[in-house]
C-alpha cells in the first residue's frame, strides 16, 4: 500500500528535525569530564596536557577535530590499535562531551629544544618549501599554531616527538585520514620533519 505524499513528507521532516536536534544538542561537560577520567586520563593526563612525548596534548584542541579523530579511530580509518580499542567503547555523545570538555581546558606551553634545527623549522612553517611546492604550515594552522576551528587542528606547544611521528606516518601511509597532509609530508625529508616538529613545540 502506498503512503500518501503528505505522510511521506511529514515522516521525512520528522527525521530531519531529529537529526538537526541531535547535531545541535549541547555537550555535557560534566559527563565529558567523567568519561575522559574513565577512558583517556591514563595516557593524556588529568587536564589533557600529556607529559609523555609520545602521547599528544589534547587540552584546548578544537572539539570538531577531536570528534573526527575519535570517529575515525573507531571506524578504523585512522589506524591505531590502542586508540581504536578505547574509541570503540564511546558513543557519539561520549565523543562530543569529551571533545568539548578538552576544548575547555587550558593548554600548557611547550618549548623547542634543537637550536640547530629551529631556524629551518620556522622557515618551513612560515614559508613552506617553494621549489618542492610544499605549502607553509601557517597557511592552515595559523602563524601561532592556533589552527582554524572546524577545519585545521591546533598545533602550538604539541610534543615534537608526537608531531614528528604523525608526519612520518602521513608520509609512509600508516596514517591515511587526511589526503592534504599525506601530500605535504610525502615531499619532506627526515631533517625537515624533525625541524618543523621542534619549531611547532615552541609555538605560542
68 in any annotated domain = yes
Q: Are residues 191 and 134 in the same domain?
A: yes
Q: Are residues 58 and 79 in the same domain?
A: yes
Encode pLDDT of 30-78 as tens digits: 999 999 999 999 999 999 999 999 999 999 999 999 999 999 999 999 9
CA separation (Å) from 202 to 49, 58, 110, 157? 15, 16, 5, 6
Q: Which of 23, 51, 44 has its CA nearest to residue 159?
A: 51
State mean pLDDT over 9-13. 41
Q: Are residues 172 and 119 in the same domain?
A: yes
Q: Are residues 120 and 81 in the same domain?
A: no
The grid coordinates listed for 114 are 634543537
6 in any annotated domain = no
Q: Are residues 122 and 192 in the same domain?
A: yes
Predicted pLDDT of residue 24:
58
30 in any annotated domain = yes
Of 81, 103, 125, the domain-final residue? 103
Supply the CATH number for residue 60's domain.
Answer: 1.10.760.10
10 in any annotated domain = no
What is the spatial distance between Cα 86 and Cα 203, in angstroms, rounded to a whole number?
30
Predicted pLDDT of residue 19:
37
End-to-end CA distance of the chain: 64
Query: What is the full DSSP assignment across 97-154?
Result: HHHHHHHTSPPPP-----HHHHHHHHHHHHH-BGGGTBPPTHHHH-TTS--BTTTB--
Domain that holds residue 167: 115-201
Q: Are residues 94 and 52 in the same domain?
A: yes
Residues near 139 by Cβ (< 8 Å), separated by ≥ 6? 128
Q: Are residues 128 and 189 in the same domain?
A: yes
Query: What is the full DSSP assignment across 39-81?
Result: HTHHHH-TTS---STTS---TT--HHHHHHHHHHHHHTSS--H
Q: Are residues 150 and 93 in the same domain?
A: no
What is the spatial distance between Cα 150 and Cα 195, in angstroms, rounded to a whole number?
27
141 in any annotated domain = yes
Beta-bridge partner residues of 148: 152
Predicted pLDDT of residue 82:
96
Q: Are residues 40 and 92 in the same domain?
A: yes
110 in any annotated domain = no
Q: Are residues 84 and 145 in the same domain?
A: no
Q: Which of the four pLDDT bands, split at 50, 70 and 90, describes residue 25?
A: confident
99 in any annotated domain = yes
Q: Are residues 92 and 51 in the same domain?
A: yes
Q: Are residues 197 and 120 in the same domain?
A: yes
19 versus 169: the higher-pLDDT residue is 169
Percent of the chain with pLDDT over 70: 88
Q: How many CB atoms lie within 10 A of CB 189?
A: 11
Q: What angle do CA 71, 73, 78 make, to 5 degrees?
A: 115
- H helix and E strand count, the chain: 11, 0
Q: How many domains does the chain have?
A: 2
Amino acid at each position: 500500500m502506498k503512503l500518501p505524499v503528505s505522510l511521506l513528507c511529514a515522516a521525512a521532516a520528522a527525521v530531519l528535525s531529529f537529526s538537526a536536534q541531535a547535531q545541535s544538542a549541547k555537550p555535557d561537560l560534566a559527563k565529558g569530564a567523567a568519561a575522559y577520567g574513565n577512558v583517556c586520563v591514563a595516557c593524556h593526563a588529568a587536564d589533557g596536557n600529556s607529559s609523555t612525548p609520545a602521547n599528544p596534548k589534547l587540552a584546548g584542541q578544537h572539539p570538531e577535530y577531536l570528534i573526527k579523530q575519535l570517529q575515525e579511530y573507531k571506524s578504523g580509518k585512522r589506524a591505531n590499535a590502542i586508540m581504536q580499542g578505547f574509541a570503540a567503547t564511546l558513543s557519539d555523545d561520549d565523543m562530543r562531551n569529551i571533545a568539548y570538555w578538552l576544548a575547555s581546558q587550558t593548554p600548557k606551553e611547550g618549548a623547542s629544544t634543537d637550536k640547530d634545527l629551529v631556524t629551518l623549522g620556522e622557515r618551513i612553517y612560515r614559508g613552506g618549501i617553494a621549489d618542492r611546492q610544499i605549502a607553509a604550515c601557517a597557511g592552515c594552522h595559523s602563524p601561532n599554531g592556533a589552527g582554524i576551528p572546524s577545519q585545521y587542528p591546533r598545533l602550538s606547544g604539541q610534543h615534537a616527538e608526537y608531531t614528528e611521528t604523525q608526519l612520518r606516518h602521513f608520509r609512509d601511509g600508516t596514517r591515511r585520514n587526511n589526503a592534504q597532509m599525506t601530500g605535504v609530508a610525502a615531499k619532506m625529508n627526515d631533517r625537515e620533519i624533525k625541524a618543523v616538529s621542534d619549531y611547532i613545540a615552541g609555538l605560542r
